[in-house]
């Protein structure tokens, strides 16, 4: 598959999500789900639980979570986006996009929302999986919903969020590997 046909398929999928799988109930879900006031309380509660669950190691873990998310964000927004320079669909296809939120002035690829939320979901999910496997799956689902919402509201293409999710997931897995092996040794 050539780059041109991949980008055309990406645009087609964008229009399917942004134009056809829509409605007032979906609007009520996907517009606010992107708002930090909606997802931040969940992340604060999980962070408080991790801090309490891990005791003295909890603060170090929270610091690492913040570094993982910040790393995903910076690689996406400061390295990849300027390097690729892909316009957002709401900029490139202006007038043909069902835009439900402000467009944003930056580039589209990769989605920093996707990178950040997947970095958090994968890293935290790996920490809490032994005591809450269902919560780990819910975190992944939550991150996926936020990614879908980015396409639904018209600010990202599907490939943007897919690659952002992969980026965040890889950073989280690498960090968890380093974290589990070197920073918090298993007690015997």
The Cα 116–Cα 171 span in angstroms is 10
pLDDT single digits (tens) 30-73: 999 988 888 888 888 888 888 887 777 888 888 999 999 999 99
pLDDT single digits (tens) 142-180: 999 999 999 999 999 999 999 999 999 999 999 999 887
142 by Cβ neighbours in 10 Å (0-12 / 13-18 / 19+) ranks as middle
Cβ pair 72, 119 in contact under 8 A: yes
Confidence of residue 1 (pLDDT cuts 50, 70, 90): confident
Summarize the chain as % helix, strand, coil (round to 5). 75, 0, 25
Q: What is the pTM of this model?
A: 0.89
Instruction: Write out the two tokens for 10.
Output: 């990406």
Confidence of residue 182 (pLDDT cuts 50, 70, 90): low
Where do the domains of the chain lie?
Answer: 3-183
Fold of 3-183: Vanadium-containing Chloroperoxidase; domain 1 (1.20.144)
């Amino acid at each position: 598959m050539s780059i041109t046909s991949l980008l055309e398929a990406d645009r087609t999928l964008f229009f399917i999500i942004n134009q056809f799988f829509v409605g007032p109930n979906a609007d009520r879900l996907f517009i606010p789900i992107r708002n930090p006031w909606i997802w931040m309380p969940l992340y604060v509660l999980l962070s408080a639980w991790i801090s309490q669950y891990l005791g003295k190691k909890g603060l170090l873990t929270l610091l690492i979570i913040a570094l993982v998310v910040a790393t995903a964000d910076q690689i996406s927004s400061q390295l990849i986006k300027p390097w690729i320079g892909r316009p957002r669909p709401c900029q490139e296809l202006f007038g043909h996009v069902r835009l439900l939120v402000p467009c944003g002035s930056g580039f589209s690829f990769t989605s920093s929302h996707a990178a950040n939320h997947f970095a958090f979901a994968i890293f935290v999910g790996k920490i809490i999986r032994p005591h809450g496997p269902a919560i780990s799956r819910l975190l992944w689902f939550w991150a996926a919903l936020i990614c879908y919402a980015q396409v639904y509201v018209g600010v990202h293409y599907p490939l943007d969020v897919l690659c952002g999710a992969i980026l965040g997931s890889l950073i989280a897995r690498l960090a968890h590997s380093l974290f589990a092996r070197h920073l918090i040794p298993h007690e015997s």
